[in-house]
Amino acid sequence: MNNEPLQNRTLFTVLGIPWKLTPTSLQFIPSRLATGLIIAFIFVRDGTLGGRLTHGLIFALILLASQFLHIIGHILGGKLVGHPMSASLIIGYQFTTYYTDEPPLSPRVHLTRTVGGPLMNFVIAIGAFTAWRIFGGTIPTFTFILNLFLASLLFLPFKGIDGEIFWREIRRS
């Protein structure tokens, strides 16, 4: 699968970082929509089709927003240590960070950039938990569980996720 950014295909720029399309970008939104709908049809107790469809769309938007803010966390971490990413790529199933022409960097730089994403998800989870405690409801509950799950899962030492870099740099430092 080719995940190189398409030339001149910047969708938008946030905090000075371009968000670029790749050949597999068109798979991204439908995969989030399908995920949101599946979760809604399994877990939402509103028995109406309309209620489940509405929740599914909201869940898809929350998933997109959580992933978007996760990358914002990486951008902020990179800017904090003076080595931000070159771009954020939108590929078939995720946003991913893209770096070009970097010199060798210290473990501190890699760790700060890496931790930014999961830390952002943890902050969102705390906000959602607070909203759930005050207001209750399915939406804050889903937002809390999703972001706590992302913040935790992404620290596992698996290839292709934040944990791979985190644990490699911990061993290196």
The domain segmentation of the chain, as residue ranges, is 10-172
Given a contact cutoff of 8 angstroms between Cβ atoms, the answer to whether 96 and 3 are in contact is: yes
As a whole number, mean pLDDT of residues 7-36 equals 88
What's the pLDDT score for residue 29?
87
Using the predicted structure, report yes or no on whether residue 1 has a pLDDT greater than 70.
Answer: no
What's the pLDDT score for residue 100?
86
- Cα separation, 73 vs 139, whole angstroms: 22
DSSP code at position 102 = P
DSSP code at position 19 = E
Please indicate, yes or no, whether the overall pTM of this predicted structure exceeds 0.75. Answer: yes
95-98 and 87-90: which strand pairing? antiparallel
Q: E-assigned strands of 38-139?
A: 87-90, 95-98
- Cα separation, 158 vs 155, whole angstroms: 8
Q: What is the pLDDT of residues 124-156, one digit of tens each?
A: 999 999 999 999 999 999 999 999 999 999 999
- Cα separation, 72 vs 70, whole angstroms: 5
Using the predicted structure, report yes or no on whether residue 36 has a pLDDT greater than 90.
Answer: yes
What mean pLDDT is reported for the chain?
91
Among 5-14, 37-46, 50-59, 89-98, name the one with the lowest average pLDDT: 5-14
Q: What is the pLDDT of residues 67-99, one digit of tens each?
A: 999 999 999 999 999 999 999 998 877 888 988
Percent of the chain with pLDDT over 70: 95
Confidence of residue 7 (pLDDT cuts 50, 70, 90): low
Given a contact cutoff of 8 angstroms between Cβ atoms, the answer to whether 127 and 110 are in contact is: no
Q: E-assigned strands of the chain?
A: 10-14, 17-21, 87-90, 95-98
